[in-house]
Chains A and B, each alone.
Chain A
C-alpha cells in the first residue's frame, strides 16, 4: 500500500513538473524565459502605503493587455519607492532568486515599459557585484526589449517636482498637465520614483555601458488629450520624449530616432539624437503610437523601422516595403512594416521574434 502511495506521489510530482514545464515553454519568447519590468504606477503614488500584495497585484495588472500571457516572471516594484531603496531591494531579491535557481542559465529576455527601462538599467549595473558577493554567477540576460523607455527621464517628472504643493495661478497650466498624467494633484510627499525620473537624475543613474543589447520600440502619439505634449521637448508619446525612448545620449528636442526617416516612415531629413547610448538599438517607430499603446491594445498605426546596419563593413540585405505617394516635387517615399497597422506594436514584436 505504501509503495503504491509513493508511486502515486512520484507520478503526481512528475505530472506537476511537466505541467509547469509546459506552462513555462508556452510563456517563453524565442525559447528564452521572459521577465517583465513595469513602469510608473501613479495610483501607487497616491496611496499612503503600498503593501507587498499591492505591488504584486498591480504588477500583474500592468501587463494584462498583452505581455502577461508570455511572462515567466516579473520584477514588480513600488512607485512610492526611490530606485536605490525598496526597488533596489526587490531587484536584489529577484536577482538572487534567479541566480540560485538557474532561471537565466539558458538566457533571459527582459521586457520593460517606461520607467521599467530605468529600473532595469539600475539592476544590470548592480547585478554583477551582487552575484559575485554572494558567490553566484551573474545572470545571463540576452537582451532587453524596451517599450517607450524612460531611461533618459521624463520632463513631466521634473514639472511634477516643481509644482508639488504649489497653488500659484502661474503654475496652473503645468499642474493641469501633471494632473492629466498622474491623475491626482501632486504633493511633495507623493513624489516617490518621480525624483529618479527627472532627466538630469535619470541620465546620471547607472550609466556605465554594458554588453546587453537594448532594443527600443517607440511612439510619437498623443495621450491625455494632448495635455502633456507641450511640456515635453520634440516629439513625445504623451509621457516620454523621443530623446529618452530612442536611447539618445542627451536631452534634445528630436522628432525621430534616426535622421533619415520620420516616425511615419517618410524618407526625409529629420531631427534625431546626435548619438545613442551604447548598445541601444531603435527598431520600430509609430507616429501615432502613444505611451500606453506600445504595450497595450492600440492598433491601426503603420509602423516604420530603423536601419541599424549603417556602419561600414557589414553587408546585410534588407527587405523593405517602400511606398511612394504624390507626384514630382510632392512625391514622398515611406519605409514601413507592411501589415503592422493590423496589430498592436507588442503583438508585432512578439510575432517577429517568436
Chain B
C-alpha cells in the first residue's frame, strides 16, 4: 500500500503538469536562429481572430520551406514514371475499383432515431440492361423498430419523379432489417438516377436517403488485346475496340501479376473511327525486375469518349471481358531508366523552387 502513495503523488503531479502546461519545452528546432524565444503554446492558447490584411508579412518559418521541399521530393519519386504508367498498390482502391457503387451510410441518431441506414449499390455506372443490385440495411434497436411503419425503395430521376418501385427481398432480425433488390434499367430512363430508401414512422413522418447511379448506352466495345510488343523501354499493349462511335477516347486499365495482384495503372488515348486500337504502354522501370518470363493481366478497363468541346457529356464504352491476358513478358528487355518529360521536369523545378527562396525562374 505504501508503494502506491508516492506513485499516486507522482501521477497526480504529472497530470497537473500535463494539463496545465506551464511551459513548453522546445525539444528541437532547426535552424534555431529563425525562431523567436517566445514559442507559443501548441494548442488553443492563441485566440482565433480576424487579422488585418495590411500588416507586413512576418518572417517566414523555415519549416514551411522545408515542407515544400518535401513535396518536391515526393513529386520527384512519382515523376520517375509517366502518368500513363504508374505503380499501383492494393490500397489505391479508386483505381482498382473505378466503377465502385455508392456506399451511403447515415447515422440516424442525428435525427433522434437510435440506428443507422446504409445503402450499397453494386456499381456506379450500369450499361443498359445490365442488372442493378443493391443492399439496404436498417440497423438499430427496439426503440427504432417500434417507431417504424415502413421502409420502401424507389428509383427516382433528378426531378424526384418515381420511375420504379423495385421488388425487394426482406430479411429481418432483432437488430436489423435488410432489403436486397435487383432490377434492370428501362430504355426511357435518364442517365442520372437515384436509388431512394424512405423511412416511414408510425406518426407519419418520413426520411429519405438516396444513392446516385448512372445508366448508359455503350458507345464502344473493347473486344480484346493484340500482340504486345516492346518499343524502346516500354511494353505496348494494343487494345482492340469495335462498334465505336467515331471520336476521341481515353482508356484506362490496371495491370496485374499472374496472381492478379496489382502492378501498374495504365492510361492511353487517341482518336478512333467505327473500330480501332488504343495503346496502353507499360514503362520498363515497372517491369525490369520482375524475374523470369511473366504472364500478366490487364483488367478494370474504363473507356471514355471525350467531348472535344463542352455540350455532349462524356460517354462510356464497355469491355467484353473483365481481364485480358498479357503473356510472355520478358523483364530482361527493360531497364530501370526513369521516365523523363520536359513538362514534368518544369513542374518538379517549380516545386523545388518553392522550397528554395530566391530561385524562382
Chain A residues in the interface with B (C-beta under 8 A): 30-32, 65-66, 84-85, 88-89, 91-92, 107, 109, 126, 128-130, 132-133, 140, 142-143, 158, 161-163, 165-166, 168-174, 188, 195, 198, 200-201, 203-204, 207-213, 215, 221, 230-231, 249-251, 264-266, 274-275, 277-279, 281, 283-284, 287-288, 296-302, 305-309, 311, 313-314, 316-334, 336-344, 347-349, 351-354
Contact = CB atoms under 8 A, between A and B. Distances in A.
Nearest to A212: B347
A297 B50 contact: yes
Contact of A230 (B17, B110, B125, B250): B110
A266 B43 CA distance: 9
Contact of B350 (A91, A133, A142, A301): A142
Contacts of B58: 339, 342-343, 351
A300 B47 contact: yes
Contact of B207 (A129, A171, A323): A171
Interface residues of B, number: 116
Find the residue from A207, A308, A336, A348 having the highest chain B CB count within 10 A: A308
Contacts of A296: 50
Contacts of A32: 350, 360
B289 interface: no
Given A302-B46, A323-B39, A307 B70 contact: yes
A275 B93 contact: yes
Given A30-B354, A283-B71, A353-B68, 8 more contacts: A215-B71, A281-B74, A319-B66, A321-B28, A323-B24, A323-B27, A327-B13, A339-B58
Contacts of B74: 281, 308-309, 311, 314
Contacts of B309: 92, 130, 133
A61 B248 CA distance: 38
A316 B34 CA distance: 19
A353 B341 CA distance: 24
Interface stretch (B94-102, B277-285, B321-329): B94-102
A142 B345 CA distance: 10
A250 B346 contact: no
Given A300-B47, A300-B48, A329-B14, A30 B92 contact: no
Interface of B: 10-11, 13-15, 17-19, 21, 24-31, 34-36, 39-53, 55, 57-71, 73-79, 83, 86, 89, 91-95, 98, 102-104, 110-113, 124-125, 158-160, 192, 194, 199, 201, 205-212, 248, 250, 252, 265, 267, 269, 306-311, 313-314, 341, 343-344, 346-347, 350-351, 353-354, 360-361
Nearest to A158: B104
A283 B347 contact: no
B53 A297 contact: yes
B36 A264 contact: no
